[in-house]
Amino acid sequence: MSRYADAARDGDGRGHHTLAETESAVAERLDGMSVDVESMAAVQNIYRAANTIRNHLEQTVLAPHDLTWTGWVVLWVVWIWGDIETRHVAEEAGISKGTLTGVIGTLEKRGLLLRRTHPDDARRVLVALTPKGRKLMNTLFPIFNAAEARVTASLSTADKTHLATSLRAVVAEVDEF
């Protein structure tokens, strides 16, 4: 069964509970508690949507090219910025330095990028795509972007923009903490 897919269906033909059922059970469980339902719904749906999208794009677009979601994100960051320091890649990709070391190891092993010591500061490491990596990005990005359009097809362009704006505000707020 794929990530978050609900191929497995229970007796009445549905996977997990409907949203209405879940909210009903939650209301019952939390009866007597003061709950910020809007905030809970916002957080839960942000996380659920992110996982659903990641799973879907990983399975349909990335796995056929032997890529993981994070491998793809790292390649994308290096593709956009060119020769870039690993600490910046970790920041842009939103992963820890320790995790980046492992992901870069995997991508290097696949011949998609190369690391080298910074000429001025031996503590730092620079990465760049290999020709093979660049070719993969040129081939795969349009396919990935088309898939991004498909997974968000239920939203109008105005909705997508509004969604992105709201989510940027959330990220900015948390980054201020």
Partner DNA sequence: AAAGTTTCGTTCGGATCCGAACGATTATTG
Partner DNA sequence: CAATAATCGTTCGGATCCGAACGAAACTTT
Edge-to-edge, what's the strand order for the sheet holding 113-117?
84-85, 125-129, 113-117
Query: Which of the choices DNA, a copy of itself, none does residue 174 contact, using the CB cut-off of 5 to 8 A by kind?
Result: a copy of itself
Please count the CA atoms within 13 angstroms of the CA of 127 that sit on its side-chain side.
28
Among DNA, a copy of itself, none, partner that 122 touches (CB below 5 to 8 angstroms by kind): DNA
132 is an interface residue for a copy of itself by CB under 8 A: no
| Cα separation, 91 vs 81, whole angstroms | 13
Q: Is 128 in the site for a copy of itself (CB under 8 A)?
A: no
Q: Name the site residues for DNA (rule: CB under 7 A).
A: 1-5, 8, 10, 51, 55, 59, 68-71, 85-87, 90, 94-104, 106, 115, 120-125
Q: Cα–Cα–Cα angle for 65, 66, 68, nearest 5°?
A: 110
20 is a contact residue toward a copy of itself (CB under 8 A): no
* Nearest residue (CB) to DNA, 2 versus 24: 2
